[in-house]
Amino acid sequence: MALDERKKLILKAVVDDYISTAEPVGSKALALRSDFNISSATIRNEMAELENDGYLIHPHTSAGRIPTDKGYRVYVDNLMQIPEPDEQYTLKVKEFFAEGLDEITDVLENASKALSESTGYTSLTLTPRLRKNQLKQIKMLMIEPGKVLMVVVLEEGVVKDRLVRVSDLIDESQLLRIADAVERGLSGIPIEEITFIAVAAAGKKVEIPESLLKQILYEAYVSIKQADSLGVYMDGANKMLGYPEFYEVDKAKSFMDTLSERGMVAGYLDEVNSDLESDDNAEVTRKPYMIRIGQEISITGLKDCSFVTTLYSTGGKIAGSIGVIGPRRMDYAKVVSSIGFVRSHINEELRKLCSDGCDKYIGESLK
């Protein structure tokens, strides 16, 4: 089962070739490569063994070989060389981070564009999961009678707001008292732990009519919970139509149909990466990205694709997922390099944006 050096070399060559041409790779073509000093016949023998062991297949007798999922797996885990970020795409990426970005959502939207531009595949970025973040403030701003802007402030300076309608009998000073009470009662608690009961308890003492109070507290509760909702940015889906694997409309359509269920794809990404997050052993540190190939993906309709995903993080509690979706035959090495580069930019931008909890990290090298 263990591959000897030559087999590895051949497997790597096959994958590299197939990635760049999308054509099955034959023994002769490999033999002609300047860095191979063995004859095509030998390569044929080796390939036959690689096929036996499940790393390659050939679509029909008279065709070359293409990698299987297992073949790709060995390739991404052991064989590929991840290039240093090259100028061609670092420039592109930097463009997207050039202007001052004031909000996390802007950072992620741009990151998504940068990722898809620099890789040529489809990118996905998710806003951070904030459930573990503590509530710091809650403000209720009266816009006009009956209309209130609920502003929820979490640790590390994350702000979310939401316009709600309430009874127009409530006046500004009452609102202020409610907001104060809720804030006093709940600040410091991670939002995932905040329940409606807790909110109600916090606001209980405020002396305004029960029904009005309850309405506001409920809206406050919803606003707090909603601060954790997952935002999704996707870019470059159209780019996939340029790859031969999607030349048949049926394939293209089923891919596009699946992507249009953004929520589902985002959910999958979030789930895959929560493994990455919890798993903080050395292995992960060395290779802080995750690759899912073909059948490994549990979403029907993306079985002919691969994911490369990673986490960005401020170093504090803010962390979220980004990923690239490409054909199974994607240029993994380049994507890994590119996603790492984009990730470090996101981290840097977010550190600039987070003022309190993160300040202590600013001095550190961004790696």
Partner DNA sequence: TTTTAGCACTCGGGCGATTTGAGTGCTAAA
Partner DNA sequence: TTTAGCACTCAAATCGCCCGAGTGCTAAAA
Nearer to its own copies by C-beta: 31 or 256?
Answer: 256
Parallel, antiparallel or unpaired: strands 289-293 and 305-313: antiparallel
Selected from 24, 294, 301, 323, the binder of DNA by CB under 7 A is 24
User: Which of its own copies, DNA, none is residue 44 near (CB under 5 to 8 Å by kind)?
Assistant: DNA
Q: Is 345 in the site for DNA (CB under 7 A)?
A: no
Q: How many CA atoms lie within 13 A of 199 on its CB side?
A: 24
Nearer to DNA by C-beta: 3 or 153?
Answer: 3
Who contacts 275 (Cβ-Cβ below 8 Å, separation ≥6)? 290
Who contacts 91 (Cβ-Cβ below 8 Å, separation ≥6)? none
Report the alpha-carbon distance of residue 343 to residue 363 in Å, rounded. 18
Nearer to DNA by C-beta: 66 or 126?
Answer: 66
Report the alpha-carbon distance of residue 4 to residue 7 in Å, rounded. 5
Least distance CB 27 / DNA (angstroms):
3
| Token digits of residue 346 | 């996101």
Report the alpha-carbon distance of residue 75 to residue 322 in Å, rounded. 22
Burial 159-188, CB ≥16 within 10 A → b, else e: ebebebebeeebeeebbebbbbbbbebbbe
In the complex, the residues that contact its own copies under the rule CB under 8 A are: 102-103, 137, 139, 141, 143-147, 149, 151, 153, 157, 159, 161-165, 235-238, 241-242, 246-247, 249, 252-253, 256-257, 259-260, 355-356
Q: Is 34 in the site for DNA (CB under 7 A)?
A: no
Least distance CB 45 / its own copies (angstroms):
38
Q: Is 58 in the site for DNA (CB under 7 A)?
A: yes
Nearer to its own copies by C-beta: 242 or 363?
Answer: 242
Q: Is 22 in the site for DNA (CB under 7 A)?
A: no
Report the alpha-carbon distance of residue 350 to residue 348 in Å, rounded. 5
Least distance CB 63 / DNA (angstroms):
5
Q: Is the dihedral of CA 245, 248, 251, 255 positive or negative?
A: positive
Encoded one letter per residue, x for contact with DNA by CB under 7 A and - for no contact, window 64-103 reads xx--------------------------------------
- Listed ranges 56-64, 232-240, 264-272, 351-359: which one lies at the site for DNA (CB under 7 A): 56-64
User: Which of DNA, its own copies, none is residue 288 near (CB under 5 to 8 Å by kind)?
Assistant: none
Report the alpha-carbon distance of residue 361 to residue 210 in Å, rounded. 46
User: Which of its own copies, DNA, none is residue 41 near (CB under 5 to 8 Å by kind)?
Assistant: DNA
Contact 214, 242 (CB under 8 A): no
Nearer to DNA by C-beta: 21 or 260?
Answer: 21
User: Which of DNA, its own copies, none is residue 137 near (CB under 5 to 8 Å by kind)?
Assistant: its own copies
Based on the number of CB atoms within 10 Å of its own CB, is 229 exposed (0-12), middle (13-18) or buried (19 or more)?
exposed
Nearer to its own copies by C-beta: 91 or 163?
Answer: 163
- Listed ranges 25-33, 92-100, 113-121, 340-348: which one lies at the site for DNA (CB under 7 A): 25-33
| Closest C-alpha to 24, from 53, 67, 70 | 67
- Dihedrals phi, psi of 149, to nearest 5 degrees: -95, 115
Binding site for DNA (CB under 7 A): 23-29, 37-42, 44-45, 47-48, 51, 58-65
